[in-house]
Amino acid sequence: MQLSINDNIIHTELEADTPLLWLLRDELGLNSTKFGCGMGLCGACTVHLNGQPVRSCSLTIAAIGNNKITTIEGENSAQIQCLKAVWMQQNIPQCGYCQVGQLMSASALLKQNNNPDEATINAAMSGNICRCGTYVRIKAGIIAAAKQIRVIEV
């Protein structure tokens, strides 16, 4: 099977029903994307499929077809750069385990909407669970990053 991952065409002989997360971590060594629940419930494994956030633990490699997968290793948008900077400045992570998934959901949101209100942020981030309870900081970080993006885009 041939797939587009982070703008590279890769070849794999894994079974068609293998979850994308297994390919990313075990075969390609893209270990930033995390395994949490394995059931599409926690968001730790979030990557982008044509820019949309998807759960890589629940997406088979056969289902990807010609669509483009982006992991945080290949996500270089202005949105993720602003988010990463704010995440550092505001010490948003605690243990850090959920944070790659959080950032991938947040960057997808900010690409669609550079001025999301609280309800929009809550809806976009509702599938990303943080066992450390950093939700308040995450929301503040998204609002701060959105502000930076609006300045860049002027």
Burial class of residue 1 in the structure, from the number of CB atoms within 10 Å of its CB (0-12 exposed, 13-18 middle, 19+ buried): middle
Nearer to ligand FES, 98 or 149 (CB): 98
Residue of 48, 69, 53, 55 lying closest to 2 (CA atoms): 69
| The only residue of 45, 69, 72, 86 in contact with ligand FES, by rule CB under 6 A | 45
Tracing tokens 């669970």 back to the chain, one arrives at: 129
Q: Quote the least distance from Cβ 134 to ligand FES, whole Å.
A: 5
For ligand FES (CB under 6 A), the number of binding residues is 23
- Which of positions 46-105 make contact with ligand FES (CB under 6 A)? 55, 57, 93-99
| The only residue of 130, 142, 145, 149 in contact with ligand FES, by rule CB under 6 A | 130
Task: Render the burial of 59-72: b for 16+ CB within 10 Å, e for the rest.
Answer: bebeebeeeebbbb
Q: Quote the least distance from Cβ 105 to ligand FES, whole Å.
A: 11
Take residue 61 and report the two structure tokens written for it.
């490699």
| The only residue of 16, 41, 151, 152 in contact with ligand FES, by rule CB under 6 A | 41
Asked if 135 touches ligand FES (CB under 6 A), the answer is no
Q: How many CB atoms are closer than 10 A to CB 117?
A: 10
Q: Which residues of the shown chain bind ligand FES in the complex (CB under 6 A)? A: 35-38, 40-45, 55, 57, 93-99, 130-132, 134
